[in-house]
Amino acid sequence: MRQRLLPLSAALIAAAAAQDGGQLYTSYCSACHGPDGKGATGGAFPPLAGSPWVQGDPERAIKIVLHGLHGPIDVFGRTYNLEMPPQGAAIPDDQIAAILTQVRASWGNASPAVTTEMVKATRAANADRKTAWTAPELLKLHPLPVSAPPIAKLTSRIYHGDWTTLPDFSKLEARNIEEENDGLIDVSHGDREDLFALVWEGEIQAPESGTFTFRLDADDGARVLIHGKPVTEVSGIGPFGTNRAQNGSIDLSAGSHPIRIEYLEYMGQQDIALAMKGPGINGWRALSQKPVQPEKPTIMVAPTADRAVIYRNFIEGVSPRAIGFGFPGGVNLAYSADHLAPALIWTGEFIDGSRHWIERGQGNQAPAGQRVVKLASGRSLPPEARFRGYKLDSAGNPTFSSQLGKGFLLDAWKPGSSAELVRTLTLKDGATALEIPLADSLPTRLLAPGVWQLGDTLELRAEENTAIELRDGQAFLKLTNGQPVVLTYHWK
Ligand code: HEC
């Protein structure tokens, strides 16, 4: 159903006189969508700021408020799969109109007002509706507004040549010129894999006057020029998505501005990502097919020179109860208290704790270092075994303890000389001997007496007489009561 839209300002005045949309928003919506429209609880709920779901055809948002929404919905490329409860019974038509008018004119949204009559008509037309809407249903009835291409009049030129720095394009002749109607830069449809360069030209839109920041990432080199002035550059040869991404800023007046992006691919992988932000833009606006990795504050959890550090939170690749240890010398362990086994070991940096400190424990944090090796993916002790905690020595090195009947298995870890972890296993107070898998996720083979190869990067060393047996390419260790076994994990 099409409805008449009032001019924005007149409707706003009318709505403001009747109802305070901002105050109503605070009462009815902000608990979930946030006072700033960005989604409450650090983005667990979808944003209304800049959301195409609230813009354009007002019936879409009216229906969501009246009857609720459930199932997967995509907002800014992120899929939510939650429930919004229906509000139609609780909020009268004039108040829904006031809220949506407010929302559609706030936080970068710029859509016409919603009148009480529109809400009334939508409510009447859907009086029989008992269930919440789904996103696909709404998209069929009220497609999202099509937005202008991020870079208008975009063209690309391709050049062939063996360059390791950006060449002087004015001296070169392009092999091919193409129009890029989607308005996004992208290297994936180049005409060769290596040894080429690209130049894109087009126009970007500054919604308001002010300072705009451009974030660029590339494999290999790239730079951005606006009005012919360099704004940011990723120089030389190197990979994408690491610490090479660069930001640069420029002052622009409201309106359109010529942009030029130069790009160079030497060998191997090829990629470019570019985004802009500034006044009138909600978050980062993508100017490339590929998204730019956001800048994220890094809060590295690190050991001191002579003491290990503990990290107890969700670690990627480890069962929920993970206990992480970063040891001096750049070796690390994530022990699973569910599996009573070392899950991951790795070298280099330990853990970036920023996610958990900022967002209060959402999601898993991956190890920050390199050469991550998964030692165990399941339990390594019999089902009756119970985790009994861990003790630290004076250097912060842990000894994990598991109870087996009346006995205990002590599993002590400390750093070795370099790129090494030393593990001491002791079976204590128990009568029975015990066999445990040493690496249930890695193919293992004997290299020399007392030396085994685990997977690709790891060597396991033990006393020659240690009872390690290989079966089907997996290593099993036999432990006898009261006889400690020392194992050394060494990265090659
Ligand atoms: C109890 C929490 C809650 C309240 C209160 C709530 N919403 Fe929602 N809203 C959600 C959830 C959850 C979704 C996503 C549902 C899904 O995943 O299918 C959503 C989705 C939306 C969407 C579509 C997605 C988007 O980001 O644009 C709009 C529009 C919306 N809500 C508007 C409102 C308005 C306006 C109010 C106040 C009248 C409101 N909501 C109150 C939880 C809530």
Mean pLDDT by 10 residues, the chain (492 residues): 42 53 93 88 83 92 97 85 94 96 85 94 95 95 81 93 92 89 80 88 89 93 96 89 84 92 91 90 83 70 86 76 90 92 91 55 68 87 90 94 91 93 92 85 90 92 89 91 94 90
Task: Confirm if 425 and 477 have CB atoms less than 8 A apart.
Answer: yes
Burial status of residue 297 (CB atoms within 10 A of its CB: 0-12, 13-18, 19 or more): exposed
Number of domains in the chain: 3
Q: Whose CA is nearest to atom 19 of ligand 1?
A: 84
Sign, CA dihedral 380-384-385-387, equals positive
Q: Is 5 helix (H, G, I), strand (E, B) or coil?
A: coil
**Shared-domain flag, residues 42 and 119:** yes
* Distance from C-alpha of 196 to C-alpha of 177, rounded to nearest angstrom: 14
Shared domain for 56 and 198, answered yes or no, is no
Residue length of the chain: 492
Return the structure tokens found at 432: 């029975």
Is the same domain home to 260 and 348?
Answer: no
Report pLDDT for 298: 61
| Predicted pLDDT at 297 | 58
Half-sphere exposure of 37 (CA within 13 A, CB side): 22
Place of tokens 């209304």: 48
Boundary of a domain, candidates 262, 286, 310: 286
**Nearest 5°: phi and psi at 410?**
-105, 130
Is there an atom of ligand 1 within 6 Å of 103 CB?
Answer: yes
Taking a C-beta distance cutoff of 8 angstroms, is the pair 141, 161 a contact? no
Q: What is the pLDDT of residue 5?
A: 43
Residue 255 burial (CB count, 10 A) = 11
Q: Locate 464 and state its tokens.
A: 């020659």
Whether residue 326 lies inside any domain: the answer is: yes
Q: What is the pTM of this model?
A: 0.43
Domain that holds residue 107: 8-141
**Domain of residue 125, CATH code:** 1.10.760.10
Give the distance (Å) from ligand 1 centre to CA of residue 362: 21
Residue 318 contacts residue 372 (beta carbons within 8 Å): no
Helix (H) or strand (E) holding 391: strand 386-392
DSSP state, residue 310: E
Q: What is the pLDDT of residue 431?
A: 62
Q: Residue 177 sits in a domain of what CATH number? A: 2.60.120.380
d(CA 127, CA 93): 13
Residue 3 lies in a domain: no
Which is the closest atom of ligand 1 to the Cα of 71? Answer: 18
The reported pLDDT for the residue numbered 13 is 47
Report the pLDDT value the prediction gives residue 310, as an integer from 0 to 100: 87
Distance 39 CA to ligand 1 centre (A): 9
Would you say the CB of residue 90 lies under 6 angstroms from ligand 1? no
Which residues make beta-bridge pairs with 275?
A: 215, 286
Q: Is 70 in the pocket of ligand 1 (CB under 6 A)?
A: yes
Task: Verify that 273 and 329 share a domain, yes or no.
Answer: no
Calculate how far, in angstroms, residue 55's C-alpha sits from the geometric centre of ligand 1.
14
Q: Is 14 in the pocket of ligand 1 (CB under 6 A)?
A: no
Complete DSSP assignment for 106-168 = STT-------HHHHHHHHHHTTT--S-B-HHHHHHHSPPPPPPPSSEEEEEEEEE---SS---
Extract the tokens encoding 18: 């009747």
What Cα–Cα distance (Å) separates residue 213 from each residue in 149, 206, 278, 407?
19, 11, 6, 62
> Do both 173 and 265 map to the same domain?
yes
Tokens describing residue 89: 């019974």
